[in-house]
Structure 1
Amino acid sequence: MKQLTVTCDLEGDMGISNIPLEDIVYLEFSKVSTKDKVIAHTEESKFYMPGTLKYWTHVFNASGLRYRTVDRSFAINVDKVISIDNVFLTAYFEVKRCTMSRRMYEDLVSEFPHLTIGIESRRPV
């Protein structure tokens, strides 16, 4: 099992921890003061690591995971998505959820059409 070294708080005052890569459901970019940080969200918590969303999305994909950028600030672990709301453009996981841009939502369902199986469209006809 691959592990990722992260901090439990923004400034690293609580030290470092290792979490399994497979536990991360989505990544969130956060520019805090002048530092680029990525927040790794698991179903139970969130963790912090330096860098950019583009960098970490690339690294996770190179490690065999399937991450896709769904907004300028979010990248999701495609294998953790439970359902997608095509009206509110939201990806749902077991506990958490993540919003998407319209264009990136369309790119995602084009690449992974199985994510929309069983999801009824709530758009007016």
Structure 2
Amino acid sequence: MLNLTVATDPEAISGGENIPVNKVLYISRGRKRNQIMVHTFDKIFYMTGTLKYWETFLNNSGFKFLNVDRGKTLNVEKVKIVNGIFKDAYFESEIAKLSQRCPIAYHRYNEVIKELGIMNPNIIFTGAATT
């Protein structure tokens, strides 16, 4: 199992820890240049590098990550539901008010849902299927 070494805060003042890649829901660009935010159910962690670098690294390490927006890359294996009305990916089978979600770019939505359906046929697509 591959682990990522991540910082627990944006400045790495609190140190870091190792988290398994299979706990990652999605990764996104951070507020600073070459900063990546790693989103899990429990917390957001931080790494350095570019989104493209980490997407390539994770995919070449046997995982399925898909860029769904200029600044977001999903862990396809974690997606349970895609809402076609709001263009959001969810990571739980039951969507609640506080459910984690990752927005999908409107202009890439049709392309993204095709790829998601191929990469993970267990995903449930709800709402409007196309833009």
On whether the aligned pair clears a TM of 0.5, the verdict is: yes
* 8 Å contact from structure 1 (residues 71, 101) kept in 2: yes
Runs of 5+ in structure 1 lacking a partner? Answer: none
**Code of the aligned partner of 2:30:** S
Q: Give per-residue Cα distances to partners, 1:8-66, cap 9 Å, x unaligned.
A: 0000001121000110010010242xx32000001111100001111111111011110
Q: Distance in 1 between matches of 2:71 and 2:110?
A: 17
1:79 to 77, 80, 88: 77
Q: CA deviation at 1:87?
A: 1.1
TM-score, normalising length: structure 1 = 0.87
In structure 2, the partner of 1:21 is 21
**Ranges in structure 2 where 5+ consecutive residues have no aligned partner:** 93-98
1-structure distance, mates of 2:102, 2:108:
13
Equivalent residues in 2 for 1:1-125 (5 A)? 1-32=1-32, 35-94=33-92, 95-113=99-117, 114=121, 117=124, 119-122=125-128
Task: Give the aligned length.
Answer: 120
SS of aligned partner of 1:112: helix
Task: State the 1:81 CA deviation.
Answer: 0.4
Please give the root-mean-square deviation of Cα atoms over the aligned residues, in Å: 1.7
Cα distance in 1 for partners of 2:112, 2:122 equals 9
Amino acid across the alignment from 1:104: R
Give the structure-2-normalised TM-score: 0.83
